[in-house]
Amino acid sequence: MKIFTLLFISLVIGTSISAQQFLTREGSLTFDAGSPLEDIIAETKSTTAVYDAQSGKIGFQVLMTSFNFKRALMQEHFNENYVESERYPKASFKGFYKDGFTKGELTMHGVTKSIRVPAVLTEIKNGMGFKSTFKVNLSDYNVSVPKAVSDKIDPYATITVNCMMKKRP
């Protein structure tokens, strides 16, 4: 896992060595596809996030099995039937932050799409804070919802990312 994380960081940041690189492996990411009939909310606190202030490059990665739901059955259905975590174990974003937006490539469920979403990046003590909330059309990423439960699942999931990244030594 550590080798995988190091490889991800090097791909996002590149080989440049800079005193302006920030990292966390404990970022929060919330997935909300609930409807008026059902709360379908999951959260993980093990999102990897990297940011290079000099270049503006930013990246995120999350293991799909790290999401926690209120009910075990929801978690099981999420991993086995919807995002197929065994086949597609992670989701990632690689791109740039500039002027209140992140723009780049979001990969989920084996599909990569270009996105541009609002984001806030702020300086905090010994690091950077990042926050973004945006919607993802599940069908754009080939996540199919059976008709039997389609009234319980919002086809546009709200994703909230909240990370406190520390300056890399």
Q: Long-range pairs for 10-17 at CB < 8 Å and ≥24 separation?
A: 11/59, 11/94, 12/50, 12/52, 12/57, 12/58, 12/59, 12/94, 13/50, 13/52, 13/55, 13/57, 13/59, 14/52, 14/55, 14/57, 16/52, 16/54, 16/55
The pLDDT value recorded for residue 35 is 86
With beta carbons less than 8 A apart as the criterion, state whether 73 and 111 touch. no
Q: What are the chain's domains?
A: 2-12+22-164 (2.40.128.110)
The pLDDT value recorded for residue 139 is 94
The pLDDT value recorded for residue 114 is 98
The pLDDT value recorded for residue 19 is 59
With H, G, I as helix, E, B as strand and everything else as coil, classify residue 77: helix
Tell me the C-alpha distance between 96 and 153, whole Å: 31
With beta carbons less than 8 A apart as the criterion, state whether 61 and 91 touch. yes
Q: With CA atoms as reference, report the closest residue to 71 among 35, 46, 42.
A: 42
Residues of the chain with pLDDT below 50 are: 3-18
- Whole-model pTM: value is 0.85
